[in-house]
A and B are shown apart, each in its own frame.
Chain A
Amino acid sequence: MQKVFDNTQIGPMVWKMRVEVPRMVARAKAGQFVILRVNENGERVPMSIAGLDKENGLLTIIYQVVGKTSALMTTVPDGGEISDCVGPLGLPSHVDNWGTAVLVGGGIGIAPIYPIAQAYKEAGNKLHTIIGARSKDLLFYEDEHKAVADELHICTDDGSVGHHGFVSDILKQLLDSGEKIGMIMAIGPVIMMKVVANLTRSYEVPTWVSLNPLMIDGTGMCGGCRVSIGDETKFACVDGPDFDGHKVDFDLLTSRLGAYKEQERVAMKRFLENPGCKLAKAVETFKYPNEVK
């Protein structure tokens, strides 16, 4: 059992929780992930690391309510417990000094690029960070990113704050500006990572993405997280989660992420019908954001 603190809503359908896992936090590096299970009947879900508070042994997770498990996560009270949290899993992000690096975070992906930004900065890079969301109220971590990045670029699909448009617009401007960019790393909705990778291919700038396929054990045993990289099948849990974006088959990833759509609907419906579910109303009125491009 792991203790949970500060489980709070930070945007429409977006929550933040901190989990007390001191030994793991001492060990984890940017780019790695954890797998958690809320309760005895719960499924195992991979979660990106959105922050490591080594002093207090707290791991930060930022999650969007997209189905039953994430909805259930919101119900864990402050000081309450979840059944398990295992990690750190996967390989840490590759960190080097490339001169200038660009980090792109879209939607919920704004969270995991934060520890990577810290690591890039520590390695001595000049850092451009681009964060984007559908609208202003879906943005978060602006201050955190501002404190780390040399330049923070904000964009929203509806123009409610920052650039009115997609993260790829800003990225293209940077690529066209003549500044030499040594590395680009993008985390966000699959479609955003695909657009970014397609854009940077012609500029020949190395572009890494962090993939989030469905997983069970997270140690290579089940093979559920297989992704197609170039001509090879890789297991995101042990070979990733970071891969060369120019080689990723994003369409395959999208389709595999949707493998259980039907069951997810059934589970969510059952959960929301549970009398007393505070989420039911919010979910009813909430329209899921179109994926950030």
Chain B
Amino acid sequence: MTEQMPKKERMKIPRQTMPEQEPDVRNHNFKEVPLGLTEEQAVLEANRCIECKKAPCIPGCPVEVDIPGFIRLVMDRDYAAAARKIKETNSLPAVCGRVCPQEEQCEIVCTLHKKFKPVAIGYLERFVSDWERENNLVVLPEIAPPTGRKVACVGSGPAGLTVAGDLVKLGHAVTIFEALHKPGGVLVYGIPEFRLPKHIVQAECDFLAEMGVEFQNSTVVGKMDTIDELFEMGYDAVFIGTGAGLPNFMGIPGENLIGIYSANEYLTRSNLMRAYDFPNNDTPIIIGKNVAVLGGGNTAMDAVRTSLRLGADNAYIVYRRSEAEMPARAEEIHHAMDEGVQFHMLTTPIEFIGDDDNKVKAMECLRMDLGEPDASGRRRPVPIEGSNFIMEVDLVVVAIGNSSNPLIPQTTPGLDTNKWGNITVNDDTMLTSRKGVYAGGDIVTGGATVILAAGAGKKAARAIHKYLMEEVEK
């Protein structure tokens, strides 16, 4: 048995590789790409953990999962207990095991990483949460007796779900208000099926519902009820986790031609509305043969990989800087490259050209050079004069970020925002300028990651609990 191996031996175990669908198979289907570790792989991988005293991985995790604790349980082959260990601090393990950038959080600080590859913490997290769910071993955690306090979470993305999960466990009554017809926020409308199967998100939401969280879908706070009215309705505290807002466009000629989507629209059509399965589902989507996705983030990778699966002959990433500056996870960039995505680096479009039917048929681009570092610390792209060229495209997806959604700030007097319209909060408590109103996730930070939103939700839940118990009379 590997469990008894001495530390030195354990360190010699190679980091396990997760089996994946082959690139030329998966780029034609929407099934999940990485298939998950086998049980034996998981146990081997867990044995790579040397159980160092410092455990730097724990503070490396935005929601402070007891990583060595759950890995020990994997070594002991008690996978359901390992999953429950994670759930003590993370409401969304099956999601985070798939979409967290572990390589820059828990894994980068792994003690093993000094000499070897770090423990594949993310793979193990996914393994145990899938094990628990697939073997029907999910049990409800202990719920504290009702406190009589009510909390409203606005938005059901990773931040809102985390807040709801943490507070419901503490005995508070929690209602989640979601604008779309399904809960999950970006986890259902944004992240594609091949990276995060929707049944997993649904299972996480169902789990919260079983714990007592009430979901009110198709309810737009700010349009239906305002934040002030939620208080009048009897909520004692409100958490705003409405996510990234309005998609940014390039602001160049021809941008409203048919065949130019924001990444939000393209992905929402394909993911939430299942347009990839048209006409079995009613929502249509334009199928491009030559597709250009503008941007270099994870959303751009999701969009370009979606376009391949929808039947593109050529799928391009068009990015104005070089690969080194791309904000997407290395893993996502490699997945895209393996699947045949063509990368046009140091390139930016300056005009979209349409045909007689107002459909995009080409874009004029400029080549770029990298100059001095800018405010973000990345080298600033500078256009090369006279480098103009035409790229033939019949579908363009603009994935260059979002600006904040104004619906709630506009209808909530006294709620302070910064110059970009993001809600300003106290960094420790996520308290906004309004008493009893907390916020977290992309509406505060601008576009970030699932786990940072969950981390913000964690902090907010702690502060809301304290507020409810100390300042709200019942």
Mark A residues whose CB is within 8 Å of B: 23-24, 27, 37, 41-44, 68-69, 83-89, 216-224, 226-228, 233, 235, 238, 252, 255-256, 258-260, 263-264, 266-267, 270
Q: Which residue of B lies closest to A217 (CB)?
A: B180
Do A219 and B179 form a contact, CB below 8 Å, given A44-B273, A256-B258?
yes
Min distance, Cβ B474 to any Cβ of chain A, angstroms: 26
Residue of A42, A69, A222, A256 ringed by the most chain B CB atoms within 10 A: A222
What B residues does A219 contact at CB under 8 A?
Answer: 179, 220, 223, 405, 407
For the complex of A and B, list the 7 residue pairs with the smallest distance between their C-beta atoms, beginning with the closest: A263-B284, A255-B358, A222-B265, A86-B218, A223-B262, A43-B282, A43-B283
Complex contact B181–A228 (CB within 8 A): no
Residue of A85, A89, A216, A218 ringed by the most chain B CB atoms within 10 A: A216
Within the assembled complex, what's the spacing in Å between the Cα atoms of A237 and B224? 15
Q: Which residue of B lies closest to A254 (CB)?
A: B358
Min distance, Cβ A30 to any Cβ of chain B, angstroms: 15
Do A264 and B284 form a contact, CB below 8 Å, given A235-B246, A238-B407, A252-B358?
yes
Within the assembled complex, what's the spacing in Å between the Cα atoms of A226 and B250? 14
Min distance, Cβ B242 to any Cβ of chain A, angstroms: 9
Cβ contacts B354-379/A at 8 Å (1 or 0 each):
00011000000000000000000000
Q: Choose among A44, A83, A220 the residue that contacts B405 (Cβ–Cβ < 8 A).
A: A220
What B residues does A221 contact at CB under 8 A?
Answer: 189, 244-247, 264, 268, 405
What B residues does A238 contact at CB under 8 A?
Answer: 246, 405-407
Mark B residues whose CB is within 8 Å of A: 179-181, 189, 217-220, 223-225, 244-247, 249, 255-256, 258-259, 261-262, 264-265, 268-269, 272-274, 278-284, 286, 357-358, 405-407
Q: Could you list some 14 contacts between A and B, CB below 8 A?
A: A41-B282, A43-B273, A44-B181, A88-B223, A88-B224, A216-B265, A218-B220, A221-B268, A222-B265, A224-B262, A252-B256, A258-B258, A259-B286, A263-B284
What A residues does B262 contact at CB under 8 A?
Answer: 222-224
Main secondary structure of the interface of B (DSSP, over half): loop
Do A217 and B179 form a contact, CB below 8 Å, given A42-B282, A223-B264, A267-B279?
yes
Do A41 and B249 form a contact, CB below 8 Å, given A224-B265, A255-B357?
no
Within the assembled complex, what's the spacing in Å between the Cα atoms of A226 and B261? 10
Complex contact A68–B220 (CB within 8 A): no
Within the assembled complex, what's the spacing in Å between the Cα atoms of A218 and B265? 11
Complex contact A41–B224 (CB within 8 A): no
Min distance, Cβ B220 to any Cβ of chain A, angstroms: 6
Min distance, Cβ A239 to any Cβ of chain B, angstroms: 10
Complex contact A256–B279 (CB within 8 A): no
What A residues does B247 contact at CB under 8 A?
Answer: 221-223
Within the assembled complex, what's the spacing in Å between the Cα atoms of A227 and B256? 8
Within the assembled complex, what's the spacing in Å between the Cα atoms of A258 and B286? 12
Min distance, Cβ A93 to any Cβ of chain B, angstroms: 15
Given contacts A223-B262, A267-B284, 20 further A-B contacts (CB under 8 A): A23-B224, A24-B224, A43-B273, A43-B281, A43-B283, A84-B218, A89-B220, A216-B265, A216-B272, A219-B407, A220-B245, A220-B405, A224-B265, A228-B256, A233-B255, A235-B246, A259-B259, A260-B284, A263-B278, A264-B284
What B residues does A220 contact at CB under 8 A?
Answer: 245-246, 405-407
What A residues does B269 contact at CB under 8 A?
Answer: 216
Complex contact A233–B256 (CB within 8 A): yes
Do A84 and B217 form a contact, CB below 8 Å, given A43-B273, A223-B249?
yes
Min distance, Cβ A216 to any Cβ of chain B, angstroms: 5
Complex contact B220–A86 (CB within 8 A): yes
Complex contact A224–B181 (CB within 8 A): no
Min distance, Cβ B373 to any Cβ of chain A, angstroms: 31
Q: Choose among A37, A86, A260 the residue that contacts B219 (Cβ–Cβ < 8 A).
A: A86
Do A89 and B223 form a contact, CB below 8 Å, given A83-B181, A238-B246, A256-B258?
yes
Q: Choose among A37, A223, A227 the residue that contacts B246 (Cβ–Cβ < 8 A).
A: A223
Residue of A24, A27, A221, A258 ringed by the most chain B CB atoms within 10 A: A221
Complex contact B179–A86 (CB within 8 A): yes
Q: Choose among A24, A27, A41, A263 the residue that contacts B274 (Cβ–Cβ < 8 A).
A: A41
Within the assembled complex, what's the spacing in Å between the Cα atoms of A83 and B181? 9
Within the assembled complex, what's the spacing in Å between the Cα atoms of A17 and B255? 37
What A residues does B282 contact at CB under 8 A?
Answer: 41-43, 68-69, 267
Q: Which residue of A lies closest to B402 (CB)?
A: A221
Q: Which residue of A lies closest to B182 (CB)?
A: A84
Q: Which residue of A lies closest to B398 (CB)?
A: A223
Within the assembled complex, what's the spacing in Å between the Cα atoms of A89 and B181? 14
